[in-house]
Amino acid sequence: MITEVDGGKLKIKWKKGTSISTRKSVVITVQFKDINAVALTGSGDIISKDRIKADHFDTAVSGSGDIELDLDVNSLKAAVSGSGDIVLKGSTKTFEAAVAGSGDISAYNLKSEKAEVKVSGSGDIELTVSKELKARVSGSGDIEYRGNPKIQDVKVSGSGDVSSN
């Protein structure tokens, strides 16, 4: 395993040619004082055991991995590219989310005030928003929201839908 810090980012990866047995889990624990982003490329899981507090936070999955986070932040950006999933809980004032592919963002347990969300492909976004919602769907994916936000802008092209749950 290789760990390196590059531009203030901790990167954890396997050495090229490393064979990993899928019969046993590999658990890596990362302790931190401040953190403002988590990204996963490929397969695997990232799970926060404690609530993460920050002014701004970014999270992204590219591939088939999964991320589960408990957050207390002012602004949050979440992105899925591929078949991975992001599960979010906690609170944020502004929430930007994008899914490209078949992955999902499940954020019913994340209380947001303003949200701008986009789905491109067959993936879905679920969210809770209280004040303002902008939503775009291109493809067969869906955006389902809870709360009573003012709908600022909604556009759908394809068989997908934007609906209140």
User: Which of residues 145 and 7 earns the better pLDDT score?
Assistant: 145
pLDDT over 90 (residue 13):
no
Entry pTM: 0.92
Beta strand 142-146 with 161-164 is: parallel
45 to 25, 104, 152, 159: CA distances (angstroms): 10, 14, 34, 31
pLDDT over 90 (residue 18):
no
CATH class of the structural domain 59-165: mainly beta
Report the b/e string of 121-137 with b at 16+ CB within 10 A. bbbbbbbbbeebbbbbb
pLDDT over 70 (residue 19):
yes
* pLDDT of the residue at 113: 99
pLDDT over 70 (residue 80):
yes
* Candidate from 10-14, 47-51, 126-130, 159-163 with smallest mean pLDDT: 10-14
* pLDDT of the residue at 9: 83
Half-sphere exposure of 98 (CA within 13 A, CB side): 9
Half-sphere exposure of 136 (CA within 13 A, CB side): 9
* pLDDT of the residue at 67: 97
pLDDT over 70 (residue 112):
yes
Domain ranges of the chain: 59-165
- Confidence category of residue 22, pLDDT binned at 50, 70, 90: low
